Structure 1
Amino acid sequence: MSKQHWKKIMLGIGMSTLLLGACGADEEKKEDKETAKKTEEVSPKDDPATDEAASLTQMTQIVEDASELKEAEGIPAEEKSAIDAAFNQYINAFNEEDFESYMSVISKTPVNFKYEDEERYVKQIFDSVDSKRTVDNVKIINYAGKKADVYAEIKATTKDPNSDKEVTRSGKQVTVFHKKEDGWKVAAIFFLASEGEEEATE
């Protein structure tokens, strides 16, 4: 795989917010702020699915502070179980390269990305590289009936099987779920990469 093709894949992963590679941490924070601004523009203030729409514009700051937040109180047991299951499917389906399962937990009406772009990027990732994600400190930090924010610390390792070139990225992520008729779906993702990481090559 050419270096240029590798970078395109990593940028694609970053655009779909599965991994953030080939970008510096400062650029990622800038992109997150720009994404939040765009989110404010496309999210109707009276859309109940977004709960408090203003919270999306502040999500970058929330991600930075989320590790200190406690799990939200008052989440019905049935809903907590369903949200946890949706998040686990989001992670496990990606790790298992189960395209249909992965896309089935992605909202058809996402807030800060396009469903078609996610579909295309994920398919490219599965076809071209080996990528795995591990999660830690997972907790539902906000719940409002039809919206839930799930915080997690994520480490993602992507390897080019042809060259053994490997990239590891880690950071804090808030995954926003919206409740649809067929269950909880990923509607927005906000990721802040850890600083000081370098590409590792075997």
Structure 2
Amino acid sequence: MKKMLVFSMLILVLILGACSKKEDASNHGSVNDGEAPSEFGSIDHGVDENKVGFNLTGGTIEEAANVPAEEKDLIIRSFDTYIHAFNNQDLDEYMSTLSEKPKSFNLDEEREYIESVFDEYELSREAKDITIVKFDEETGESQVFANLVTKMKQKSTGLETKRDGRQVTVFSKEGGDWKVNSVYYMEDQK
């Protein structure tokens, strides 16, 4: 009996070892890896400096010099609407800020996820140091950096948490409006 148990355990270890083959690290929190997603939707922690205008781990934040004044105003207003809709837990307004063809999330999954977050938590996000760090008129893409303070209170338990982090929100110009197509977030480690 002991031999059979030891043999079974050995087989289990071999199977688990074979299944733990390292996959692409940028899929953490995705639907496919079985890991729970971040608290705030489709967020990629594997930030690639080629995708965003700079490294989120620190350093100096410089404003893009080539942003026309009118576009700057429209981009910042779109970012403000995105934050405002989240803080007011207005699902329809929040969804209206998102791109019809997002690059880092699925619209149906995002709607379902954000709806569950709004149902479960009282939320507030405060954005500071809002800066357009990259602007490409040719591709119709801009990147907005912000330091975020996010406060959450679970409605069922009263448990409160506060998170500080840095976020780059990537916008695409669609029909004259700037829409969120990707979000890159890194929580500050304290």
Residue 128 of structure 2 corresponds to residue 136 of structure 1: yes
- 1-structure distance, mates of 2:42, 2:157: 24
Superposed counterparts of 1:99-178, under 5 Å: 99-145=91-137, 146-178=140-172
SS at the partner of 1:64?
coil
Residue 69 of structure 2 corresponds to residue 62 of structure 1: no
Superposed counterparts of 1:1-202, under 5 Å: 11=37, 13-17=39-43, 32-33=45-46, 55-56=50-51, 59=52, 62-65=55-58, 68-145=60-137, 146-196=140-190
Q: Share of identical aligned residues, percent?
A: 28
Determine if contact 1:105/1:186 at 8 Å carries over to the other structure: yes
Stretches of structure 1 lacking an aligned partner (at least 5 in a row): 1-9, 18-30, 37-53, 197-202
Instruction: Spell out structure 1 runs of 4+ moving beyond 6 A.
Output: none
Report the residue type matching 1:89 in the other structure: T
| Partner residue, 2:11 | none
Report the residue type matching 2:57 in the other structure: E
- The structure richer in helix per residue is 1
SS at the partner of 1:32?
coil
Structure whose CA Rg is larger: 2
CA change 1:127–1:182 in 2 (3 A) is farther
- 1-structure distance, mates of 2:154, 2:87: 15
Task: Give the C-alpha shift of residue 182 in structure 1.
Answer: 4.6
What TM-score results when the alignment is normalised by the length of structure 2? 0.74
CA change 1:184–1:82 in 2 (3 A) is same
What TM-score results when the alignment is normalised by the length of structure 1? 0.69
Task: Give the C-alpha shift of residue 60 in structure 1.
Answer: 9.2
Task: Give the C-alpha shift of residue 55 in structure 1.
Answer: 2.1
Report the residue type matching 2:110 in the other structure: E
Name which structure has the greater RCO, CA cutoff 8 Å, separation 6+: 1
The alignment of Structure 1 onto Structure 2 pairs a total of residues equal to 153
CA change 1:169–1:160 in 2 (3 A) is same
Aligned-CA RMSD value: 2.1
Report the residue type matching 1:75 in the other structure: V
